[in-house]
């Protein structure tokens, strides 16, 4: 894992994303791509000339220029290999295009705080790219690559894909706990994951607990004692998860720690 893509945008989740991305890039001696996203709102004034849109775009561009200028100085002082890119338009598609040759994407867990239509951004990006995504809770500070990790295992292909994608980071940790909540349709055995990760050099323990209510909330509670976590995303499809409060949706809304997801 060498190439990290960081979403840059002037919103309340930016500082948490930045700190996590810098911590990971330093640990893996990697390269950080800072992708500044500029949204293009659709605004037509009363005369249909687009003057209102031009005014909004100018304000948005000015804010992002100030934001990037401040961050450039900070990132340069960190001493990590990095570059800056800018994309205009839809955030999901801009991130997917930029992520074609990256190993990890760093986003906020609730998408873009303050933009209602961007609240499920991590889920949409996960479906649009093969790269794993680290979702970071707003207000979280830093990422502990060598800390304690909780891996959620339900036996699904999505969970297996996510674990394989997370292995380069899991190899850096001091301890990995594989947690299975009984009652899955896939009849999972956490020892399968433990053996796989042990061959990668990870120190692994396993635990199985009975299902008691919503799986997402059980995982959320278990994550509170970890430094970061790993789970598969959207085994059922995004719309159904959104409507019925699926596991991944609950975790994106409520995860207490950075969470690596994939689809």
Q: Which residues pair with 135 in a beta bridge?
A: 107, 259
pTM here is: 0.88
Confidence of residue 241 (pLDDT cuts 50, 70, 90): very low
Residues 67, 126 contacting (CB under 8 angstroms): no
**Domain ranges in the chain?**
3-136, 148-261
**In the numeric block, which tokens belong to residue 27?**
């640990």
Residues 255, 113 contacting (CB under 8 angstroms): no
Q: Compute the mean pLDDT over every residue in the chain, rounded to the nearest whole number.
A: 86
Q: Which tens digit of pLDDT belongs to each residue from 47-60?
A: 555 545 555 556 77
Confidence of residue 232 (pLDDT cuts 50, 70, 90): confident
Mean pLDDT, rounded, for 220-242: 74
Residue 63 has pLDDT above 50, yes or no: yes
Sheet containing 81-88: which strands, arranged edge to edge? Answer: 81-88, 31-38, 3-8, 104-108, 133-136, 259-261, 228-230, 148-152, 175-181, 204-209
Q: Which of these, 154, 149, 172, lies nearest to 257 by C-alpha position?
A: 149
The Cα–Cα gap between 146 and 48 comes to: 56
Looking at residue 166, its pLDDT comes to 96
User: Which architecture does CATH list for 3-136?
Assistant: 3-Layer(aba) Sandwich (3.40)
Per the model's pLDDT, the better-predicted residue between 234 and 69 turns out to be 69
The Cα–Cα gap between 101 and 208 comes to: 36
148-261: what CATH class? alpha beta
Highest mean pLDDT among 101-105, 238-242, 253-257: 101-105
The Cα–Cα gap between 57 and 92 comes to: 19
Percentage of residues in the chain with pLDDT exceeding 70? 84
Distance from the Cα of residue 12 to its chain's centroid: 15
Tokens 């004034």 appear where? Answer: 45
Per the model's pLDDT, the better-predicted residue between 243 and 140 turns out to be 140
């Amino acid at each position: 894992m060498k190439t990290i893509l960081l979403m840059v945008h002037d919103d309340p989740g930016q500082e948490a994303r930045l700190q996590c991305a810098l911590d990971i890039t330093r640990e893996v001696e990697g390269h950080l791509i800072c992708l500044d996203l500029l949204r293009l709102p659709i605004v037509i004034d009363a005369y249909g000339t687009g003057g209102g849109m031009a005014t909004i775009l100018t304000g948005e561009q000015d804010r992002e220029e100030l934001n990037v200028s401040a961050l450039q100085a900070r990132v340069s002082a960190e001493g990590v290999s990095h570059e800056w890119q800018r994309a205009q338009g839809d955030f999901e598609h801009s991130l997917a295009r930029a992520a074609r040759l990256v190993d990890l994407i760093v986003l906020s867990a609730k998408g873009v705080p303050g933009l209602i239509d961007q609240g499920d951004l991590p889920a949409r990006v996960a479906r649009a790219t093969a790269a794993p995504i680290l979702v970071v809770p707003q207000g979280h500070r830093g990422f502990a690559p060598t800390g304690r990790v909780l891996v959620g295992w339900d036996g699904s292909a999505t969970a297996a894909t996510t674990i394989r994608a997370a292995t380069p980071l899991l190899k850096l940790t001091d301890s990995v706990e594989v947690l299975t909540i009984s009652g899955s349709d896939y009849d999972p055995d956490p020892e399968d994951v433990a053996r796989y990760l042990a061959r990668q050099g990870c120190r692994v323990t396993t635990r199985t607990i009975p299902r008691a209510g919503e799986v997402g909330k059980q995982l959320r509670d278990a994550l509170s004692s970890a430094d970061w976590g790993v789970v598969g995303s959207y085994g059922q499809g995004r719309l159904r998860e959104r409507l019925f409060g699926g596991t991944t949706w609950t975790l994106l809304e409520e995860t207490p720690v950075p969470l690596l997801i994939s689809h």
